[in-house]
Amino acid sequence: MASFVIKIPCSSANIGPGFDVIGLALSLHLDIHVTVEAKPSSQLPFNCAITYEDQSKSVEQISLDPEVNLITRVALYVLRCHNQRAFPVETKVHIVNPIPLGRGLGSSGTAVVAGVMLGNEVGKLGLSKERLLDYCLMIERHPDNVAASLFGGFVGTYLNELKPEDVARKEIPLSEVLPAPAGGVDTGIKPPEPPMAIGHYRKFNWAPEIKAIAIIPNFVVPTANARNVLPETYSRADVVFNLQRAALLPAALGSSPPDPDMIFLAMQDKVHQPYRKTLIPGLTEILQFMTPATQPGLLGICLSGAGPTILALATDRFTEIADRIIAQFASNGISCQWKLLEPAQDGATVTYN
Ligand SMILES: Nc1ncnc2c1ncn2[C@@H]1O[C@H](COP(=O)(O)OP(=O)(O)OP(=O)(O)O)[C@@H](O)[C@H]1O
Ligand SMILES: N[C@@H](CCO)C(=O)O
């Protein structure tokens, strides 16, 4: 019997101006406990039994059907690209999830990374993390969350300019990469494999004094909705505004001791936050009144990923900072939980028992 644990950190994407580019892995981990029993046969659908422990206080019910559950569905995609139609007989997957769903802490990216790691491990495929990133990008098509969760730390990411035939492969609809459940029946169709080296990343330094406060409102903003409110085109002035700040951000957050004024400036954004304010009551006020001048200890503040979580970077006075932001949400009738987190430098790991 093989038994191992896959551990994947959640992530905060964008960090202000780095829309779809910059990601930060954080110290809140999804754990997948896997056992493979090497039985002669199995009655389980796709040879897999899932159990799920919700530590995230989310209301959404996570499916325990291996063909529907995002983690096992992604694992089946990776396995089928390698001519393995199902899990090895007999695979038990116990998911322990403390990451709130649909709140801007990269829960879906973390689940996708868990799926590719799971497929790679049970299928004994020996794929590198660089190749696993290609598989992730066939499913979640912006690299900031998945690269941070896979590789860990504070990362800048980019997508390759692909050859025309590879562009066509990458733009295959998600429904062909992860076909709709066939009711436990194996359709036998081999899914499209990702082009090679679609996405890349580079790790930046992170000043050890800087901690991340995540203020997590008790409502969901699905990423798809938060992307739908963004414009198709931007003014030159807004693009230049973001480029100027994104160019400063890695140096600002990597320098010790941290310079609050530089960090606050480097975390300003005109590409996604102004449009997402419509989905997040109180965001405008929070981004306006929380500054290093009005709040000692604060370095910078932004929407975490697509929201609604607020990410406040700070060196101290964590409770005070969280309380002020929670009070603003409360004035809009929204309750919150908050967590003090740190960068998770290791990324996704597998440990055999
Ligand atoms: N552990 C998990 N197991 C199965 N499905 C999951 C898991 N985590 C997330 N999901 C799926 O991902 C969806 C949330 O994805 P979504 O992209 O909307 O938000 P997010 O990833 O939490 O936030 P963001 O992308 O802004 O950081 C959930 O509604 C659920 O369907
Ligand atoms: N960069 C992505 C992250 C959310 O998944 C966005 O802001 O839409």
Burial class (CB in 10 A: 0-12, 13-18, 19+), 43: exposed
- Beta bridge partners, 320, equal none
Report how far apart the first and last C-alpha atoms of the chain are (Å, whole number): 10
Which residue's alpha carbon is at the smallest distance from atom 11 of ligand 1? Answer: 108
Backbone angles phi, psi at 233, to 5 degrees: -130, 160
Tens digits of per-residue pLDDT, 116-173?
999 999 999 999 999 999 999 999 999 999 999 999 999 999 998 888 887 777 777 7
Percent of the chain with pLDDT over 90: 87
Rg (C-alpha) for the chain, rounded Å, is: 20
Confidence grade of residue 59 (pLDDT, cut at 50, 70, 90): confident
- For residue 190, pLDDT over 90 is answered with no
Residue 70 CB–ligand 1 contact under 6 Å: yes
Which-ligand-closest: CA of 226?
Answer: 2
Domain with CATH 3.30.230.10 in the chain: 2-201+344-352
Topology of domain 2-201+344-352, per CATH? Ribosomal Protein S5; domain 2 (3.30.230)
* Interval between CA 141 and ligand 2 midpoint (Å): 10
H or E element at residue 133:
helix 129-139
| 67-82 average pLDDT score | 97
Ligand 2 neighbours, Cβ below 6 Å, are 13-14, 19-20, 142, 144-145, 223, 226-227, 272, 305-306
| 173-202 average pLDDT score | 86
What is the DSSP secondary-structure string of 185-211?
Answer: ----PPPPPPPTT-EEEEEE---TT-E
Which residue's alpha carbon is at the smallest distance from atom 8 of ligand 2? Answer: 306
d(CA 14, CA 223): 13
Domain with CATH 3.30.70.890 in the chain: 205-341
* Interval between CA 83 and ligand 2 midpoint (Å): 32
Return the CATH number of 205-341, one of 3.40.50.300, 3.30.70.890, 3.30.70.3270, 3.40.1080.10: 3.30.70.890
Which-ligand-closest: CA of 109?
Answer: 1
3-state secondary structure of 240: helix
